[in-house]
Structure 1
Amino acid sequence: MGCCTQVQLRQIMVPNAFCNLPQCHLVESPYLRKLHDLINNEAKALDGIYLVPNGVHSILQIKEQQFAMHCDAMKEEFKLLSEPFKVFDFEFWKRPESNRKTEVCIKATNDGTIHAIVSWWLLQLDNEGTIFYCTGPKWISDQSKSFFPGMGNWCDHWKQCIWFLPEKGMTVCKHQEVFVGARHTKTSISYRVKTSLEKEDGGHCDPSPGDNQIFLTPEQIAIYGDCNWRLSMFNVIKNALKQKVSPMCIVVDDSLFLPIAIASLSKSAHVIALFPGLREKGTHYLQAVASSNFYSMDRLEVLRTRNQQLTMENTHQTKVGLFVGEPFYYGNENVLPWRNLRFWKERTMHDSVLSKDVLIVPCKGILRACAMSLPDFWRSRRCLQEIEGFDHSVANSTLGACGDLPADEEGPCLPFPIWQCGESKRLSDTVSIMEFDFLKPISSCAGTAQVEFTESGICHGFVLWIDWMMDSSTELSTGPDKGYWKQAVKLLNKPVAVGSHGLTLADCFSTEIKASFDPSSGDLNIKYVFF
């Protein structure tokens, strides 16, 4: 018989096993409260519009889930109400349990209101427990940073998770016991919070809206709860209705605020909402909030026709006197800003039913831009080359790499909220590149702007956005200083040293940006030249 050799196979799992933990903090944050508490933020508005009236609060809200965000951007307004604590550990070398529940008792470290639970991963990478990687924010203690390598470096893929407490949160006192219940499934972790003196943070107990519940993004909830935004929109609609007698009004997008505002402000207007994304859910929603907003559904209807040109039959043989949008398209939140020029396309498609003196809201869009230093974001989108002896360049096209591209290639514009881009610095004033005139049918257009650098630094790209002129005097901006909208980021192939004339020895002192809009595709082409 031949010799037999026994071979023992050993599996190595990275991350390993025994300390793969979701770490958590209880936090107070006015900004995070704005992202989910529409009920109490709406109560501060002076417009008399109720998007979430008593009895139907749950019909419009964010999903009950964790949301990924870079918490370092909110460091200055975070108040920590606990020490970091763990809820589960996961041993990746064995098959995980599909469902687990636990409850931990935490002592509050400060007086305050718990608005959210922030969580991140602490990963043990080796068997011996000597190598750890933490995906937590920078404001973890310095001692933890030195113990866990990898902490403190901005990585786009290492966002933290935010779990919102319902409505205005939970008030706690220093040293008070807080009970955090956690449950995980195969794909998610959820939390419930209570004190020894309170019931679980269940919020309002409304009748279940069933399948008609509308879930909006946290950013859209914040917009609808923003008193300044609401007041601006309210006054624009109020002024427009003063110019019309018993108008036929079209709300062309998925705005929930506008049809209610029009129906509440005018007892003679007839409102047709198209709701291209919300569809039947939008109809049910308008019915549910009608009595609280003092309008009847015989003056407000939702058309069931989709992506079709309106006819005079649709408008009851009446020309449209008011054509409006925010613009907001449900399910379209992660696209480039100019994708909302869909409003212009639809205004053109429905041109035959518009009256000669129709009021268009918004009446104009303005493409604006500025130059910025974005070192973290540029590195996160840089082309891969050889890493630890392995060629990773094959993954560049799949990952959408932009930085360090070959000279004959150009990266795309990326939709991203600048306040979540890590380190950033404006290097120029804002410039206007071109305008989109919604009073006229859609057409190709182009524009050029000269950008003079006002700060010295390394330019990594340009940030572009659209500001909306709702009427001749009301402008709603979606720029990088606004925390509720995504901008378009055009990264450079290679960063460029820039500066002001006479103040620095820089490579460039200005640049020219050219943009052209193609109405057939909805694309915006961006070109630039440094001087």
Structure 2
Amino acid sequence: MSSIGASQRIFQLKFDPLSGNSEWVVIEEIEAPEEKQEPLLATTSYLDMLNDSRRNRAYREAINKTITRPCHVLDIGAGTGLLSMMAARAMGLQESTTSCSSKAKVSACESYLPMFKLMRKVLRANGLEKKIHVINKRSDELKVGEDISSRADVLVSEILDSELLGEGLIPTLQHAHDNLLVENPQTVPYRATTYGQLVESPNLWKLHDLFNNEAKILDGVYLAPKGVDSILHIKQQQFSMHCDAMKDEIKLLSEPFRVFDFEFWKRPESHEETEVHIEATNDGTIHAIVSWWLLQLDEEGTIFYCTGPKWISQSSSSSESKLLFPGTGDWCDHWKQCVWFLPEQGLPVCKNQSIDLAATHTETSVSYKVKIPSKKKDTDLCDWSSSDNQIFLPPERIAVYGDRRWRLSMLNAIKNSLQQKVAPMCMVVDDSLFLPVAVANLYKSSHVIALFPGLRQKGAHHLQAIASANSYTVDHIEVPQTRKQQLTLQDTHQRRIDLLLGEPFYYGTENMLPWQNLRFWKERTLLDPILSENAMTIPRKGMLRACAMFLPDLWRSRCCLHDIEGFDHAVVNSTLGACGDLPANEEAPFLPFSIWQCGETKRLSNIVSIMDFDFSKPISPCSGTAQVKFEESGICHGFVLWIDWLLDSSTEISTGPDERYWKQAVKLLKEPIAVGKQATGHGGYHSTELEASFDPSSGDLSIKHAFS
């Protein structure tokens, strides 16, 4: 059995949000369960997945039904070892003091060292450490006769993402069938089938069609002008989303249709194509394809798990759909639905019209092409070349750039800040593509330096490509060729900066906590020596705001683990960053979430401002307090925090829970607390005081609360 000493070095990539730099750091990870651990895996989906009782029950039932005799079971991507323990119990290894049969054995491979070490703790807590053979390797590194004694009779695995294939399901199964499994093995799961549905949704359309959104705004700024609109777009891929959160703004244009079957019990193909013939059920415009998968866990087809949206069983008129998708379970975040966007403004269809869908899968993804048989023009994949100068933005950023209100706020702030300037020197310190173009368009005499810390030369190429459409010359905006930690007047042509700008937006940091965008403040501080005496900044101020919320679905998915299908998992709570039932000295971590996609939610309190970040001054420690008063009676699961940006003296942009395109920070409580308005007399806490502090040396924010 592979073993690791009581203490081992773990190398982890650490990101400094205020500098944008990454470095490998060494973490001395102690195996002793009594030692306090940092939640190394708090931002992963392990905790949410282990709290998915529907998933756990389905696997347990399928494993018990499949493993009915002593055999060799291989668990690939074992995680905490839950499936391995289920397999061991099915063969009686859990109860026996010695192996009940030489043929009964379980091998579990897990390549990620922190999770591998956590699995060993879970196995030890359940008395199975010596009954399950654990290997800290990728499955495609395993060798029969070295890592495992023989080919396995049964494969149990859970290497699925929201798209199904993104975690390497196909190459993993190919290698396993070629090298690790007996001929005609048993598998849990047995089969997976992907499904799709055609939908109309203007809000989904806004997430990808910047060209047509800009054409309607008419503010003179074009980030994706005609002719070069393919230089800035989203990736050609499926995007995972909680589509149930959008059900009221989605019009269904077809019944669910079957796309691909993937058999776990035989070697899959790396590439396949299929054509699906669909009949439109409504008039409308196809903006997207919503997809999901159905997992058949047993060979007979009696145990299923579906990731489909709830509307399938609620609104479908097809008896087959209701039979296949009898309903969905609780909200969970580890598996969502996926969205494939149709190009441009979508495809108009009429009820009963025939539609042909061509679907293709590779080893890691599924793609689609839609056409109407009687028409010549297909909604083919966009003509997006493979140029190295293309910029791929997340859908939310495309939607922001196409939002009339947001653009107007930015343009007004620029006008208000530069109204006294004749030939201003301006600098955009972040990766905003909008701000350099907006300044150059509004002030022909200005000189703009765009630093593009993440986009670099891709950003420079974009500005050159769209110059004529925005009525500026290429020498109007400058992008430094080399990146310097400290800029001097030599880099600004001996001119001091009159206006420093940022959205703030930093390329590649979409899943960061809100205050990690305070990198803008750090950048402003480094540039302090070359700012003019009356220099302005956009934004001028950041305001940390918060409210208390009812978040039952998010709470359930992140709460402490105890018994999972008969196996003790309490030992994982600290490492996975759980909430609820925590020791006195432990707190749940901050987690980035889009609140509108977090299932059932309700705001219980007023919105408070805790503290301000003043960008007119160099970065410094900040602290503040605020009294949160409960306006609704209910159960408080935690606080939601975000930063609103004051662009100038009067223009404010919010990134709070009511806004679609930003993530907020969630701080879940140790235990849910009953709250209510004092006047109601219904009991519970009436208010709480929040105290927050920001440490500029680390970029960390801490928060304390005291209910009263």
Distance 1:488 1:437, change over 3 A: same
Q: Tell me, yes or no, if the aligned pair for 1:59 and 1:209 is still in contact at 8 Å.
A: no
TM normalised by structure 2 equals: 0.72
Structure 1 residue runs without a partner (length 5+): none
Partner of residue 23, structure 2: none
SS in 2 for 1:428: coil
Deviation at 1:93, TM superposition (A): 1.3
Say whether 1:311 aligns with 2:483.
no
1:304-332 Cα shifts (integer Å, max 9, x gaps): 33251110100101111111111111111
Question: In the alignment, which residue of structure 1 is the partner of 2:189?
Answer: 15
* Pairing of 1:442-461 with structure 2 (within 5 A): 442-461=619-638
Among 127, 147, 160, which residue is 2:299 paired with?
127
CA distance in 2, matches of 1:147, 1:60: 40
In the alignment, does 2:650 pair up with 1:476? no
| Structure 2 Cα separation of the partners of residues 6 and 299 of structure 1 | 75
What secondary structure sits across from 1:345 in the alignment?
helix
Contact 1:379 1:403 in 2 (8 A): no
Cα distance in 2 for residues equivalent to 1:504 and 1:226: 44
Aligned mates of 2:522, 2:103 — CA distance in 1: 71
Could you tell me which of 222, 237, 252 is aligned with 1:65? 237
- Give 1:199's aligned amino acid: K
Tell me the residue number matched to 1:190: 367
Shift of 1:97: 0.8
Q: Any conservation in 2 of the 1:133–1:149 contact (CA below 8 Å)?
A: no
CA distance in 2, matches of 1:124, 1:98: 21
Distance 2:346 2:546 in 1: 37
Name the amino acid aligned to 1:290: A
CA contact 2:294–2:306 (8 Å) conserved in 1: yes
Q: CA shift at 1:283, angstroms?
A: 0.8
Q: 1:455 is paired with a residue of what secondary structure?
A: coil
1:27 corresponds to 2:199: yes
1:52 corresponding residue in structure 2? 224
CA contact (8 A) 2:369 2:381 kept: no
Task: Give the alignment of 1:56-455 within 5 angstroms.
Answer: 56-142=228-314, 148=325, 151-196=328-373, 197-202=375-380, 205=383, 208=385, 210-455=387-632
Cα pair 1:108 1:174 within 8 Å, conserved: yes
1:502 shift after superposition? 3.0
Partners of 1:6 and 1:48 in 2: CA distance: 73
Task: State the shift of 1:402 in Å.
Answer: 2.6
- Taking the aligned partners of 1:90 and 1:147, their CA distance within structure 2 comes to 17
In 1, the alpha carbon distance for the partners of 2:367 and 2:623 equals 48
Aligned CA distance change for structure 1 residues 249 and 365 (closer, same or farther; 3 Å): same
Match of 1:37 in 2: 209
1:492 & 1:325 partners in 2: Cα distance? 33
Given that 2:313 and 2:326 are in contact with CA atoms closer than 8 Å, whether structure 1 keeps it comes out as: no
Aligned mates of 1:506, 1:448 — CA distance in 2: 25
Equivalents in 2 of 1:413, 1:125: separation in Å? 35
Call closer, same or farther: CA 1:6–1:419 in 2, change over 3 Å: closer
What SS does the corresponding residue of 2:262 show, helix, strand or coil?
Answer: coil
Is contact 1:26–1:117 with CA below 8 Å preserved after alignment? Answer: yes
CA distance in 1 between partners of 2:579 and 2:482 (Å): 40
- Which SS does the other structure have where 2:489 is aligned? coil
Q: Tell me, what secondary structure is at the counterpart of 2:678?
A: coil
Q: Secondary structure at the match of 2:658?
A: coil
SS at 2:690 equivalent: strand
| In structure 2, distance between residues paired with 1:187 and 1:506 | 53
- Matched letter for residue 29 of structure 1: S
CA displacement 1:336-395 (0-9 Å, x = unmatched): 000011111110110000001001111001100000000000111112112122122343
Distance 1:356 1:303 in 2: 24
Distance 1:372 1:250 in 2: 39
| Cα separation, 2, equivalents of 1:427 and 1:231 | 32
Distance 1:145 1:389 in 2: 32
Q: 2:452 touches 2:479 (CA, 8 Å); kept in 1?
A: yes
Contact 1:81 1:108 in 2 (8 A): yes
Counterpart secondary structure, 1:22: strand
Cα distance in 2 for partners of 1:117, 1:136 equals 13
Of 514, 517, 522, the residue aligned with 2:694 is 517
Give the alignment's Cα RMSD to 1 decimal: 1.8
Distance 1:498 1:299 in 2: 57
| Conserved 8 A contact 1:463-1:488 | yes
Match of 2:78? none
Deviation track 1:91-141 (CA, whole Å, cap 9, x = no partner) reads 111121111000111000000000100011111121211122111111112
Question: Residue type of the partner of 1:223?
Answer: V
Helix, strand or coil at the partner of 1:183: strand
* Maintained 8 Å contact 1:133/1:148: no
C-alpha contact (below 8 Å) 1:363/1:438 kept by paired residues: yes
Supply the distance in 2 between the matched residues of 1:381 and 1:66 (Cα, whole angstroms).
Answer: 26
Equivalent pair of 2:188/2:298 in contact (CA under 8 Å): yes
Separation (CA, whole Å) in 1 of partners of 2:391 and 2:200 = 26
Instruction: Supply the AA of the counterpart residue of 1:195.
Output: I
- Pair 1:382–1:204, CA change in 2 (3 A): closer
TM-score normalised per structure 1: 0.95
> Does the 8 A contact of 1:361 with 1:471 survive in 2?
yes
Q: Distance in 2 between matches of 1:186 and 1:6?
A: 34
1:145/1:431 Cα in 2 relative to 1: closer, same or farther (>3 Å)? farther
CA displacement at 1:47 relative to structure 2: 1.2
Q: 1:398 to 1:211 in 2, by over 3 A?
A: farther
How far apart, in 2, do the equivalents of 1:237 and 1:203 lie? 37
Instruction: Using the TM superposition, give the Cα deviation of residue 504 of structure 1 relative to its aligned residue in structure 2, in angstroms.
Output: 4.3
| CA positional deviation for 1:205 | 4.2
Q: How big is the shift at 1:396?
A: 3.0
1:307 and 1:6, CA in 2 relative to 1: closer, same or farther beyond 3 A?
closer
- CA distances 1:28-75 after superposition (whole Å, capped 9, x unpaired): 011100100101111111311110111111100000000000011001
Q: Mean alpha-carbon deviation: is it higher for 25-34 or for 393-402?
A: 393-402
The residue identity in structure 2 corresponding to 1:392 is: H
Closer, same or farther: CA 188–403 of 1 in aligned 2, 3 Å: farther
Tell me if structure 2 keeps the 8 A contact 1:145–1:151. no
